[in-house]
Amino acid sequence: MVKGMEAKQSTDPQVEALKEAITLIEKALITLNKAKLDYLTTSLSSVGYLLEAYRELLEEKNTITKELDEIYSKYSPIKGSLVYKWVKNKIGKKYWYWYLHVKEGNRTRSIYIGAKVPKEIIKSINERARIRRLEARLRYITERMEKIEEALSWSLSVRL
């Protein structure tokens, strides 16, 4: 019996070492799995944020597109600018008149408007300015959406 006790006692340190090693491995796996889980959680929240930002940009893009369609259907925007300049008559007296400067190819054409500018022309020029602002915003939104698409494709292609 003494021999059995000795054998049991001699393996106890090995068993204890194995138990300790198993415990350390389990803790390491738990830590590793927790790190993976944290990484996945962070990645998913980042993807969620990107998808939400993309959705908001898409809604804004659709709104701007509808607004542009509405402007084009209601008005015929004039591409040009109003200029108020004086003209001398035959005896040298100055008169002030409005001209519309319009680009046509490589040259600028001056179109005589008269002493007073019709409201339709003013409205049309203002709508053209509004169109330019909306188109600039649309370009920005499109660029932003492309960057988000790129980030999403990169995020979804990363593997653990």
User: From residue 108, how far is each of 9, 85, 101, 124 by CA, in Å?
Assistant: 104, 16, 6, 19
- For the chain, give the mean pLDDT: 80
Angle ∠(79,120,139) on CA atoms, nearest 5:
40
Report strand pairing: 107-114 vs 81-88. unpaired
pTM value > 0.85: no
Tokens of 59: 């809604």
- Lowest-pLDDT range of 10-19, 23-32, 66-75, 129-138: 10-19
Binned at pLDDT 50, 70 and 90, residue 160 comes out as very low
pLDDT digits (tens, 9 = 90+) for 126-145: 888 899 999 999 999 999 99
pLDDT digits (tens, 9 = 90+) for 81-132: 888 898 888 888 888 999 988 888 899 998 888 889 888 888 888 888 899 9
pLDDT of 26 above 70:
yes
